[in-house]
Amino acid sequence: MQLTKIAPLAGMALLSVSLVTACGSNDDKAASGGSSAPCPLVKAADPGNSKAPSGVPTADKAPKLAKKSSYTVAFSQNASNNPWRLAETASMKDEAAKQGVQLTVTDANNQQSKQIADIKGLIAQKPDALFIAPITEQMANVVKNAATAQIPVFLLDRDVDHNVAKPGQDYVSVLQSDFIQEGKRAAVQMAKATGGKAKIIELEGTTGASPAIDRKKGFDGAIKQCPGMKIVVSQDADFTRAKGQSVAETLLQSHPDATAIYAHNDEMALGAIAAAKAIGRQPGKDIQVVSIDGERDGLKAVAAGDLYATVECSPRFGPKGFQTMMDYAAGKSVPTLIINSDQLFTKDNAAANVDKAY
């Protein structure tokens, strides 16, 4: 959510620069969102990463972290139900081991109530610092509990509601990708995949999670430039492959004229690809799929032609997370928002990156 407030112009500027060349055709209006008007995204370059956000405040009012020779740190992970989460946890554990940090990890099993209980339990153990990957923005209240207990919190990969937990005060910093930009980049790929004419099923991530909110915002905002691209239905599939498959099964039946699927992560896209194949549709031919993450199975699906493209969202937060914590302990200025740089994976580079993926 925070990026919307701090850097709303960065990605849009990149998009509009490259939208000079219009294109499109008049054929097959019925297969489109109902319009034959040209879609400037079809020939647009990948917008790439957004500019570094400007005017980000530093964390001046959050609980302090004393400089020590060794730290006891806790990490509240929201789930371990997909390769992305497993890679993030592994990255945190690996870096903790390298830095000599004693790390306790909890897994909320994709349940908000369990994550709240987990974090309360961790606060009671009085760690020097607490990393939280919040399941939804509603974790803001329990983040405030940690601040009240004078424990500095670093949010990983998702944000919380700033009306409740103030950046730089109730938590030190949030480290994440620019989810709005990811949605814009996915929209450009979808336009290329479909020639700018598509009836799109959108599989959303967990309702209330900041990537689900912002990936929708970025994609929806970008395709407004293309009258032939319409989202015909959007539904929460909880970022999981199983739900991606079951929700896609239902939506492909209720919208047999859908020509594309935008999934907020690779796991849901892979479920949707299986659902489409099960009813005789041919991903990459009569239905185009675009998603976000860049996990190994996603890259394999791109290389196989089932997935048109996936926008990377790196889960490897360990080095940057602990570096930020050490900087904070050393009294350096730490921004309240730290944004990752991410790649784009298409048929041109997916196969070459499979071995490096998670």
Q: CB 280 → ligand AHR: shortest distance, Å? A: 28
DSSP helix/strand/coil, 110: coil
- Does residue 76 belong to the site contacting ligand AHR (CB under 6 A)? no
Q: Which helix (H) or strand (E) holds 204?
A: strand 198-204
Contact 42, 184 (CB under 8 A): no
Q: CB 355 → ligand AHR: shortest distance, Å? A: 20
- Both tokens of 353, joined, read 């990156």
Binding mask 84-123 for ligand AHR (x = CB under 6 A): xx--------------------------------------
Site for ligand AHR in 248-267 (CB under 6 A): 265
CB closer to ligand AHR out of 203 and 350? 203
- Does residue 211 belong to the site contacting ligand AHR (CB under 6 A)? yes
CB closer to ligand AHR out of 39 and 248? 248
CB closer to ligand AHR out of 56 and 269? 269
- Does residue 243 belong to the site contacting ligand AHR (CB under 6 A)? no
State which of residues 46, 157, 202, 306 lies at the interface with ligand AHR (CB under 6 A): 157
Distances (CA, A) of 182 to 115, 204, 334: 26, 13, 24
Q: Give dist(CA 106, CA 109) in Å, integer.
A: 9
For residue 42, the 8-state DSSP code is G
CB closer to ligand AHR out of 32 and 136? 136
Q: Give dist(CA 315, CA 312) in Å, integer.
A: 9
Q: Give dist(CA 9, CA 160) in Å, integer.
A: 22
Binding mask 277-296 for ligand AHR (x = CB under 6 A): ---------------xx---
State which of residues 287, 313, 344, 357 lies at the interface with ligand AHR (CB under 6 A): 313
CB closer to ligand AHR out of 155 and 222? 155
Q: CB 331 → ligand AHR: shortest distance, Å? A: 30
Q: Give dist(CA 100, CA 318) in Å, integer.
A: 13
The three-state (H, E, C) secondary structure of 267-336, written as one string: HHHHHHHHHHHHCCCCECCCEEEEEEECCHHHHHHHHHCCCCEEEECCCCCHHHHHHHHHHHHCCCCCEC
- Does residue 241 belong to the site contacting ligand AHR (CB under 6 A)? no
Using the rule CB under 6 A, give the single segment among 82-90, 95-103, 124-132, 275-283 that binds ligand AHR. Answer: 82-90
Q: How far apart are the first and last CA of the chain?
A: 27
Task: Give the binding site for ligand AHR (CB under 6 A).
Answer: 82, 84-85, 157-158, 211, 239, 265, 292-293, 313
